Chain A
Amino acid sequence: MPDGLFTFFAALTLGAALLLVLSRNAVTSAMGMILALVGIAADFFLLDAYFLGVLQVLVYAGAVMVLFLFIIMLLDTDDAVGAYPWKTAALGLATFFLLGAGVLWLFHWSGAVSAAPAGATPPEFSANPAEFTTAAKSFGRLLYTKYLLPLEIAGFLLLVALVGVVSLSKDAPEGQA
């Protein structure tokens, strides 16, 4: 049995994700998304990945979702169309239950995942850079040694995305791509 905090946040995350998928109102969907991302961040905390939990709340639940809400307000889109055709609903239900059953079988009944506990609480910092530690500076140490090239590529990618967004959102003249 999982402990109480995990059960609580798992239920919160799944309920919020359900709200995201099922709600007709795009703003309600976005609220469900924010709650689900906060629940995932809480799970990061339970996994002793404190830095990633904070990052998830700041970047995902904060910046990214504010962007989403801005666009939702800007476009003012309603699901004006009527009920979903039964084919779509059946496809959705079949997808969810098949995938859910597969996940349940693989991770719960098949015995493929070891049931060993996580072991001792990880240290805050360790001399071994590959060991799982909780301090933010253990991220920095890896980012500037082993993962230096990916870090620079990520920085370049952000620059390219910035330029791309600017050029995409420029006013196009009438009747021209």
Chain B
Amino acid sequence: MEHTTLAHHLLLAGLLFALGLTGVLVRRNLLVVYMCLELMLAATTLAMVAFSRFAHKMDGAVFVFFVITVAAAEVAVGLALIVALYRRRGTIQSDALNLLRD
């Protein structure tokens, strides 16, 4: 731990966020897009824990606790929406969901 600085953790979090955003933009399977979105959220919690640890303050860690709680609820609702979408349209490929465009 003595050689790992705040910058290293932030670098990891930033690169994970960049990877997640790339996936959200590029992928067409809605489930994979949703997983990439979750990866972005997890990357931000990593940055928050790093700040909390290096500032010697507990508040950031408690905030991450709430983020994990909200993320669990959000995943349940999002997956229910995707299942409902699949039931109605028979696909979850984002380029096939262009009802409003035509």
Give the A interface residue count (CB, 8 A).
89
Q: Which of B61-102 contact A (CB under 8 A)?
A: 61-62, 64-66, 68-77, 79-84, 86-88, 91-93, 95
Interface size class of B (residues with CB under 8 A): 35 or more
Known: A14-B12, A96-B19, A99-B18. A172 touches B77 (CB 8 A): no
When chains A and B are docked, how far (Å) is the Cα of A71 from the Cα of B82?
Answer: 9
Provide the main secondary structure of the chain A interface: helix
When chains A and B are docked, how far (Å) is the Cα of A114 from the Cα of B7?
Answer: 8
A33 to chain B minimum Cβ distance, whole angstroms, is: 5
- CB contacts (< 8 Å) of B38 on chain A: these are 33, 60, 64
Q: Is the CB of A52 within 8 A of B64?
A: yes
Instruction: Report A132-145 CB contacts with B as 1/0, cut-off 8 Å.
Output: 11000011001100
Q: Is the CB of A10 within 8 A of B12?
A: yes
Contacts from B to A (Cβ < 8 Å): 1-12, 14-23, 25-29, 31-32, 34-36, 38-39, 42-43, 45-46, 49-50, 52-59, 61-62, 64-66, 68-77, 79-84, 86-88, 91-93, 95
